[in-house]
Amino acid sequence: MPAPNTSRAPEELTIDDLRTRFGGQGQGHVLAHWDRLDAAGRERLLAQLRRLEPQLDDLVTAYREAREAAAPRKATDLAPRIEPARAIALPQNGGDAKRAAAARQRGEEMLAAGRVGVFLVAGGQGTRLGFPHPKGCFPIGPVSDRSLFELQAQKIRGISRRTGRAFPWYIMTSDATDAETREAFEANDCFGVPEADVTIFQQEMVPAFDFEGRMILETVDRVFENPNGHGGSLTALVSSGALADMDRRGVDTVFYYQVDNPLVRIADPTYLGYHAESSAEMSCKVVRKVDPMEKVGVVARVDGRDAIVEYTELRDEERYARDADDKLVFWAGSIAIHLLDTAFIRRVASDAFRALPFHPSAKQIPYVDEGGEERKPQEPNGYKLERFVFDALTEARSVCVVETTAEEEFSPVKNATGTDSADTSRAALQAQYRRWLSAGGARVPDDDVSVEIDHSVIDGPDDVRSAGFKTLADAGEAVRIAGGRDR
């Protein structure tokens, strides 16, 4: 039986209160080294436990539920309940070009009315990439080494220029990325976005548990905590005051994206228009899976509601199923670009322990042994817990799914080499710039030349056309090249 919650405010809890509370939840070991701590160590641990205390019961329950649900939904159970996504197709795939044009117009109006906020999640630890700084600082520019943050800032400045109004940019960091992200923004004058329009805030952390359900002590005076996943962004928007800031500014629609995809079309007006037209509370962008084995979650309908189904959750019958045109039936790969209404975010965040369940993943987590020695295990010794933003989909009364192409909108920097690496992402950017130049009537440089476009000036073929340059020599600073002899 958990000990009854004390009526004291967390900051007034004494060490005895905490001993009772944590002990009552099978977590008394967090104070195992208390007697040997110096004053600073005691202060640190006390502060952490006071912070964790209000959520203690929920955290322990969340751990138990995460473990029980840890096995992926069984493909055979899911099979009778799953149908393909109903997505708005691209005009070239049978979509309605007139509807797309109307959606674009509507989205432009939303932007001009200041109803849209841009929300970047940048709290991840970027383990696979192995870059020793926040991923947003990663140099992605093919010519200038411009960082992912700077590239995104250029896109945001481009929208401000087009709509003639300030455009708020909310950036979620974590303990792992906060200090360096703030330094990068300060050192670069927020990459040209007015400081008043940039809000940086931290997501919450969550304790990790060993396989017996005990919180892991990382050092004698600290419980190990990790960022609580991109799904933690929805509660952090509320607790940080960012959502209240949106209310003050008249923002009712949030464009959510991830830090590592330089092709993201920030606040795409057509997407915004479709979201509004469908009265959706949350929307998803998807790309056509070509290879049935691609490891992306697909948007599908489960029991009549849109949801993301992990590729491991599909049976081969669904995974390989093809329609009369030989296209995959479960084709809609999610690219983690969402629109969410602010009222919807508030609703989901208010019931987060139910609506955004924690997912466990077994990891090697540094710990302190009974003798107080710090250890780094060679094998997984516990679970990190994370929330996923797409779990919110099943909470939405209406969802809008919009098709795009990976070529134009998705090439993330996830790995150090191979698929989804900096090389593949830079190549995708280069190819996109060449397509834009060609479609806009400008000369395309030779293959041995690197091209870089300043998105604050040119953000698509239409901008190339209206700028009116035919050769890159006439393009000024908006297009930079390096290497080769071409100009």
Residues forming contacts to ligand UTP in the complex (CB under 6 A) are 121-129, 135, 172, 174, 203, 227-230, 232, 258-260, 414
Q: H or E stretch including 407?
A: helix 406-409
- The token pair that represents 170 in the structure block: 């909310």
- The token pair that represents 320 in the structure block: 């390989």
- Provide, rounded to whole angstroms, the least separation between the CB of residue 410 and ligand UTP: 13
- Provide, rounded to whole angstroms, the least separation between the CB of residue 153 and ligand UTP: 16
- Provide, rounded to whole angstroms, the least separation between the CB of residue 390 and ligand UTP: 11
**Quick one: how far is CA 213 from the chain centroid?**
28
Among 79, 72, 50, 29, which Cα is nearest to 367's?
A: 29
- Which CB atom, from 107 or from 126, has the smaller least distance to ligand UTP? 126
Beta bridge partners of residue 326, listed in sequence order: none
Among 406, 408, 413, which Cα is nearest to 139's?
A: 413
- Which CB atom, from 119 or from 274, has the smaller least distance to ligand UTP? 119
- Provide, rounded to whole angstroms, the least separation between the CB of residue 306 and ligand UTP: 20
Contact 174, 205 (CB under 8 A): yes
CA–CA–CA angle 238, 239, 242 (5° rounding): 55
Q: How many helices (H) and strands (E) does the chain have?
A: 16, 22
- Provide, rounded to whole angstroms, the least separation between the CB of residue 19 and ligand UTP: 30
Among 418, 396, 416, 412, which Cα is nearest to 347's?
A: 396
- Provide, rounded to whole angstroms, the least separation between the CB of residue 117 and ligand UTP: 16
- Which CB atom, from 355 or from 442, has the smaller least distance to ligand UTP? 355
- Which CB atom, from 274 or from 358, has the smaller least distance to ligand UTP? 358
- Which CB atom, from 21 or from 338, has the smaller least distance to ligand UTP? 338
- Provide, rounded to whole angstroms, the least separation between the CB of residue 176 and ligand UTP: 8
- Which CB atom, from 229 or from 445, has the smaller least distance to ligand UTP? 229
- Which CB atom, from 142 or from 231, has the smaller least distance to ligand UTP? 231
Alpha helix stretches (DSSP H) within 268-341: 269-277, 316-319
Q: Which residue is nearest to ligand UTP (CB)?
A: 124
> Distance between CA atoms of 432 and 79, rounded to whole angstroms?
38
